[in-house]
Amino acid sequence: MIIPEKCGGLLERIRSILEGDMLFDLFKMELLEGSEGYARLKAEVKEEFSNAHKIAHGAMVFALLDVAFAIAVNSITDAVGVQWSFNMFRSASLGDHVIAEARVIHRGRSNMVVEFMAESEQTKKKIAQGMAMALPLPRKN
């Protein structure tokens, strides 16, 4: 796993998040940028990630969005996602790279709200966009 220098002082926190996230490796994701409350990553649409129509499976797109979400919230504090809402506008073709980006827009004591989106690296067209909520976990002693 390569973590880019664009992660600043959060290198170890982001590394621990990604080492524990099996989807990151399963979908061969690449972290492009990470900072407190923000993440940007990408993955290639491969045949094993396609649906019966030979386009990116919705589960692949959601996996990218969910991992970006996880990095964004967990870069601040340990948290888990409890609600997601997003729309799919189009899919991506085999060989395309999907970029997912997530940003914390509300950081409360009892919840965090994240906006996220996915787009095609090749066409620059938006694939999906939405919001999610996370609940901070109690601190471990």
| Residue 9 vs residue 82, higher pLDDT | 82
Give the helix/strand (H/E) hosting 133.
strand 126-136
88 by DSSP, 3-state: which? strand
Gap between the Cα atoms of 27 and 52, Å rounded: 18
Those residues with Cβ within 8 angstroms of residue 100's Cβ, 6 or more apart along the chain or in another chain: 39, 40, 41, 42, 61, 64, 65, 67, 68, 116, 117, 118
Rounded percentage of the chain residues whose pLDDT exceeds 90? 73
pLDDT at 133: 98
Is pLDDT of 4 > 80? no
Is the pLDDT at 141 greater than 80, yes or no?
no
pLDDT at 1 over 90: no
126 by DSSP, 3-state: which? strand
Question: What's the maximum distance between 2 C-alpha atoms anywhere in the chain?
Answer: 49
The full set of domains in the chain, from first to last, is 5-136 (3.10.129.10)
- Taking the C-alpha atoms of residue 108 and residue 97, their distance in angstroms, rounded to an integer, is 33
Structure tokens at 70: 């996880």
pLDDT tens for 45-86 read 999 999 999 999 999 999 999 999 999 999 999 999 999 999
Q: Mean pLDDT in the chain?
A: 89
What pLDDT, on a 0 to 100 scale, did the predictor assign at position 85?
Answer: 96
The tokens for 34 are 């990470």
pLDDT(3) > 80: no
7-35 core/surface letters (b: 16 or more CB in 10 A; e: else): beebeebbeebbeebebbeebebbbbebb
Query: Hunting for tokens 């073709």 — which residue is that?
Result: 93
Give the pLDDT score at 140.
Answer: 66
- Distance between CA atoms of residues 133 and 123, nearest Å: 29
